[in-house]
Amino acid sequence: MNRHLYILAFILLGTLFSAQAQFDKKQQLERQRQELLSQIERISKLRQSNKKEEKNVLNQVESLNDKINVREDLIKVTNSQVNLLTQDINENINKISALRDELAQLKEDYAAMVRKSYKSKSSQSRIMFLLSSENFLQAYKRIQYMKQYSNYRKEQGEGIKERTALLQETNRNLISQKKDKEKLIAENREAREQLRQEKEQQDALMAIIREKESSYASQIRDKQKEADRIDREIDKIIREAIAASNKEVAGNNKEVANMKTFALTPESRALANDFVSNKGKLPWPVETGTVIKRFGTSRHPTLPNITTYNSGVEIQTDPGSMARAAFKGTVFQIQVIKGGGYAVLIRHGNYLTVYQNLKSLKVKVGQTVSVKQDIGEVAINPFNGKTILKFLVFKDAERQNPSDWVYNM
């Protein structure tokens, strides 16, 4: 008996865990869908605000590519939601069928019991049933039997009510799920149509680019050379800053003074450990934004024969947006970068976060900053009208992928 109970409990627990996992998956998909919708809206607004300035075809294609990529992700997520809803609908259809069969059986049993009870319903027959007892004990047992029979009838009636209520609730859930599914399918249909139109625009722009491919390829290479020059400048600043910091910490210790990585005090080591423990959980360095260029080497989205390298991530945000500290630390360096505005370096032990392309500052060297504290206003690019923050992460002088550190980037 106990073995059967354990098996039943195990099955019930498995069902509960499965239902919870399904619910969590639905919530996760809905969060993703809402975030993707927000990104599309943000990109559309930014494209609209940049329309007058964005005369360069390459910039137009890059903006459109970002929107197409997000739109495709949205369609995938919505498809996953539709599939989950289809599973739920099928489960509820099966549940309704089982409940109807169970309810029919309960009603049939109850009707039979009522008919049987009706035949012997008169108070006289019940009294005669008791009076015909051979002794007091038998009479007592008959009274108990009559009570049990009455309770059983009551339980059967309650069972019918409960199953009827459950059937009605399941029907309501089914209707709601079907409406949700229809809504998602309609949204997906609309998203596919918008995607088709955007790809048509993309094809038209690509046709223009192909006519002058060599000219546009030259523009891309020039932009990469400028980015490489700024990267070398940042790298040099960091190497010199590490050397200066170690010289200050080392005193007469030449070995420490010559280290190529930060010499850490107990306090700075604790801060570095705290920074590492928050890997993947850091807030975005702007309140709202869209990553338009990711870290590392990649093929150019417009001219696939050309590869480009990005030392950090580039985030397009709204005009007037403030860059903010991704983690607590100390403002280590502020530099004016030719073609890159102000660059603010914040130290977190032997880690650095760099905020590049600021037009104004709200911090100074040596200042302690808290997480999400404003650092400065992000500059607007005069050539394409875009407000872009370049965000970098370093471990000592080694570049890191910011997307590994920032939550959901």
pLDDT of residue 123: 47
CB atoms near residue 284 (< 10 Å): 21
- Taking only the tens place, the pLDDT of each residue in 206-215 is 887 777 777 7
- State how far the Cα of 386 lies from the Cα of 41, in Å rounded to an integer: 16
- State how far the Cα of 404 lies from the Cα of 176, in Å rounded to an integer: 39
- State how far the Cα of 404 lies from the Cα of 409, in Å rounded to an integer: 8
- pLDDT classification of 112: cutoffs 50, 70, 90: low
Is 2-211 a CATH 1.10.287 domain? yes
CB environment 346-384: b (16+ within 10 A), e (fewer): bbbbbbbbbbbbbeebbbeeeeebeeebebbbbbbeeeb
Task: State mean pLDDT over 78-90.
Answer: 86
- State how far the Cα of 172 lies from the Cα of 178, in Å rounded to an integer: 10
Check whether 15 has a pLDDT greater than 60: no
Say whether pTM exceeds 0.85. no
**233: its two tokens:** 């400048």
Among candidates 64, 65, 69, which has minimal Cα distance to 47? Answer: 64
- Domain boundaries of the chain, sorted by first residue: 2-211, 264-404
pLDDT of residue 241: 85
* Max Cα-Cα span within the chain: 114
pLDDT of residue 53: 45
What fold does the segment set 264-404 form as a domain?
Answer: Glucose Permease (Domain IIA) (2.70.70)
Cβ neighbours for 391, distance < 8 A, ≥ 6 positions apart: 285, 312, 313, 314, 315, 323, 326, 353, 354, 355, 356, 402, 406
Regarding predicted confidence, which is higher, 330 or 108? Answer: 330
What number of CA atoms fall less than 13 Å from residue 343's CA on the CB side? 23
The answer to whether the Cα torsion of 285, 312, 351, 333 is positive or negative is: negative
- pLDDT classification of 60: cutoffs 50, 70, 90: confident
pLDDT of residue 408: 87
First and final C-alpha spacing in the chain: 54
- Taking only the tens place, the pLDDT of each residue in 127-175 is 555 566 667 776 667 667 666 666 666 666 676 677 777 777 878 888 8
Q: Long-range contacts for 168-173 (Cβ within 8 Å, ≥24 apart)?
A: 170/92, 170/95, 170/96, 170/99, 171/96, 173/92
- Taking only the tens place, the pLDDT of each residue in 334-389 is 989 877 689 999 999 999 999 999 999 999 999 999 999 999 999 988 777 789 99
- pLDDT classification of 221: cutoffs 50, 70, 90: confident
What is the percent of the chain where pLDDT is above 90? 26
- pLDDT classification of 92: cutoffs 50, 70, 90: confident
- State how far the Cα of 22 lies from the Cα of 348, in Å rounded to an integer: 40
